[in-house]
Amino acid sequence: MKQEILLESGINELEIVVFKAGNSLLGVNVAKVECILPYQPITEVPNSNKNVSGVINYRGRVIPVLDLIKTLKQECSKASKDRLLILININNSDFAVEVSLVSGIRRLSWKEIETPSSILLTQNETPITGIVKGGNDEIILMLDLEKILADIDPALALRESRTTKGLEGKKLVVAEDSTFLLKVVNESLVKAGASVEKFSNGQDALEFLQNSSIDEIYCVITDIEMPVMDGLTLTKQIKSDEKLKNIPVILFSSIASEGLAHKGLSVGADAQITKPQIDKLVEMVINIRS
């Protein structure tokens, strides 16, 4: 599955796997996809979450299977044996999602991903992070798998840090496109004593840094997946700028795994940590200049 078409990091591009769950055309970052599997026998687990179909045995690993069609309240005429499974790895968790079909891989710029209208995000219940205009008037919805997974297993959701000191007088810049995650990260850092400048994409964060007194900025924390400018590109821009290059940059992302750590290293990130480890993030920020 992993074709490594996109080899260079920090060029503000990504690849997405495009697929259908029921009638919805959806996309997910290739960086989160381990492989695509044909139908596998699924063992049901008594009293599991209603959106979990069961588990499969894949190469000796027991993998939970999420019923994405049911989760998204879709209708699907295909029998289970005719569906496919996409094996996902995020936040150091492995699981599979059951889909109707996979149509291929598309390469695009983060600038092509539009932020969903607030009408679509009522009560923060819609698991969509972005919208891509496809060919033939198609709309591809970028799926928020982190939200879906956290809704099923609350233990995987991001929670405010317990740390109450260590960042007194420190000014931080945080770039994160999820309103909820940005709120939790901000509150955790403020609780530890910091002041925080918040941005929903890398471009706005970069412009702020370029127009700031660098001595005031203690650290930058950035997600990787963001519209307009992603976190890898933001990091690369910071580290290639004579004025900004000494500012520490921490990548805080669901895809900041060991297998993808080379991408962060290639653009000069000072540290990387996987969501939802907010306590470890705050500790890392406190010690980043030690």
Q: How confident is the model at residue 4 (pLDDT cuts 50, 70, 90)?
A: very low
Q: Domains in the chain and their CATH numbers?
A: 13-155 (2.40.50.180), 158-287 (3.40.50.2300)
Q: How confident is the model at residue 74 (pLDDT cuts 50, 70, 90)?
A: confident
- Number of neighbouring beta carbons within 10 Å of residue 112: 16
- Number of neighbouring beta carbons within 10 Å of residue 275: 24
**Has residue 270 got a pLDDT over 60?**
yes
CA 234 to chain centre: 15
Mean local confidence (pLDDT), 238-256? 93
- Number of neighbouring beta carbons within 10 Å of residue 195: 14
What is the per-residue pLDDT across 152-181, written as a single tens digit (0 to 9) for each? 877 766 777 888 899 999 999 999 988 778
SS3 110: helix
Q: Which residue has better confidence, 2 or 175?
A: 175
Strand partners, 251: 222, 272
Query: According to the model, what pLDDT value does residue 252 have?
Result: 94
Q: Which residue has better confidence, 118 or 250?
A: 250
Cα–Cα dist 20/103, whole Å: 8
